[in-house]
């Protein structure tokens, strides 16, 4: 079967989707709405980003709840996680924490890894750049994942929290790519802390909502999420906006989360959809992935 491709007018349709999107409605639902108040300065924002992206599993309500519980554990100051003098109290308070399959002892170990890292380096950007300068974005994520995995003994399942695109599994690395988006993009609501990584180098955080719509718009022909699919979707968006390809991530993701897209051809809902001419479901060609 011939691969589905968006229409030549797709960049215009995507721009309309972006321009008409109710950002304020969806921002309230997004995990970054609870992370931003915790990122009072550069160090705290980076810690908020790394622990928030680590917890970004499941629906947005559960993720916001998990971040809120972590904020409560640290009395509202995430910098306490990397304060060596607070390590024993941190372990005690985190002991009963649980979010999906992520346990408190794993977060405690992450805090220990970050404490050691920050002892002589100012930012995780240094870790990313070490790989990026050698081999591009995937190598940068690999270097960051290896840094966060740490060395020595770790709790069961800890290292699996930080997959790399260079692993044999070729994971889409949704949580680390989301962390990079938050750190690099300067446009609200992202933090824009890292200045040495250009926005044009970013890859899309390919969660199930973004993958679903990207597949049905013909930005990838891959029906399963993988690093190869991340690169395909990112390249398609880079052709539209070489300077800032991930600017569309929030809109594509929340079009799915909000129910703006019913994920099937529905005359009553698809009518105002700006990308309708490009959608394989609207054209009656699609199969849901």
Binding site for ligand SF4 (CB under 6 A): 213, 216, 261, 269-270, 273, 275-276, 279, 281-282
Residue whose CB is less far from ligand SF4, 73 or 275: 275
**Closest distance to ligand SF4 from the beta carbon of 33 (Å):** 24
- Nearest-approach distance from CB 142 to ligand SF4, in angstroms: 33
Q: Measured from the CB atom, is 87 or 269 closer to ligand SF4?
A: 269
CA neighbours within 13 Å on the CB side: how many for 127?
Answer: 22
Minimum CB distance to ligand SF4 smaller for 65 or for 286? 286
Nearest approach, Cβ of residue 213 and ligand SF4 (Å): 6
**Helix/strand/coil percent split, the chain, to 5:** 55, 0, 40
Tell me if residue 238 falls in helix, strand or coil.
helix
14 or 281, CB closer to ligand SF4? 281
Q: Which residue in 108, 99, 28 sits closest to 67, CA to CA?
A: 99
Q: Which residues on neighbouring strands pair with residue 99, listed in sequence order?
A: 102
* Own/partner long-range contacts of 37-41 (Cβ < 8 Å, ≥24 apart): 38/67, 38/71, 38/76, 38/78, 39/191
How far from chain centre, in Å, is Cα 277?
Answer: 28
Min dist. Cβ of residue 271 to ligand SF4 (A): 9
CA dist 15 and 248 (Å) reads 9
Task: Indicate the residue among 57 and 270 with the shorter CB distance to ligand SF4.
Answer: 270
Q: Minimum distance from CB of 225 to ligand SF4 (Å)?
A: 18
What gap in Å lies between CA 163 and CA 172, rounded to an integer? Answer: 9
- Measured from the CB atom, the residue of 170 and 269 that comes closer to ligand SF4 is 269
Residue from 146, 76, 81 nearest 114 by CA: 81
Name the minimum Å distance from CB 24 to ligand SF4: 20
189/249 Cα distance (integer angstroms): 12
Smallest distance from ligand SF4 to CB 121, Å: 43
Q: Which residues contact 12 (CB under 8 A, 6 or more apart)?
A: none
Q: Which of 93, 120, 119 has the alpha carbon at shortest distance from 107?
A: 93
CB nearer ligand SF4, residue 152 or residue 284 = 284
């Amino acid at each position: 079967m011939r691969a589905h491709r968006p229409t030549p007018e797709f960049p215009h349709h995507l721009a309309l989707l972006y321009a008409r999107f109710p950002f304020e409605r969806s921002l309230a639902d997004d995990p970054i709405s609870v992370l931003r108040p915790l990122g009072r300065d550069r160090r705290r924002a980076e810690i908020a980003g790394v622990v928030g992206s680590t917890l970004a599993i499941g629906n947005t309500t559960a993720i916001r709840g998990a971040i809120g519980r972590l904020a409560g554990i640290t009395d509202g100051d995430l910098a306490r996680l990397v304060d060596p003098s607070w390590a024993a109290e941190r372990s005690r308070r985190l002991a009963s924490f649980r979010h999906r399959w992520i346990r408190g002892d794993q977060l405690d170990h992450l805090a220990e890894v970050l404490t050691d890292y920050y002892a002589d380096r100012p930012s995780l950007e240094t870790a990313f750049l070490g790989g990026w300068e050698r081999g591009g974005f995937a190598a940068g994520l690999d270097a960051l994942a290896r840094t966060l995995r740490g060395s020595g003994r770790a709790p069961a399942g800890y290292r699996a929290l930080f997959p790399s695109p260079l692993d044999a599994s070729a994971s889409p690395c949704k949580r680390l790519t989301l962390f990079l988006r938050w750190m690099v993009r300067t446009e609200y609501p992202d933090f824009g802390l890292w200045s040495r990584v250009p926005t044009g180098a970013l890859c899309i955080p390919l969660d199930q909502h973004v993958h679903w719509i990207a597949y049905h718009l013909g930005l990838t022909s891959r029906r399963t999420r993988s690093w190869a699919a991340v690169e395909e979707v990112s390249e398609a968006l880079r052709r539209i906006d070489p300077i800032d390809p991930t600017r569309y991530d929030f809109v594509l993701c929340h079009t799915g989360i909000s129910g703006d897209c019913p994920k099937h051809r529905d005359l009553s809902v698809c009518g105002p959809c700006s990308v309708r001419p490009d959608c394989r479901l609207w054209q009656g060609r699609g199969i849901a992935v």
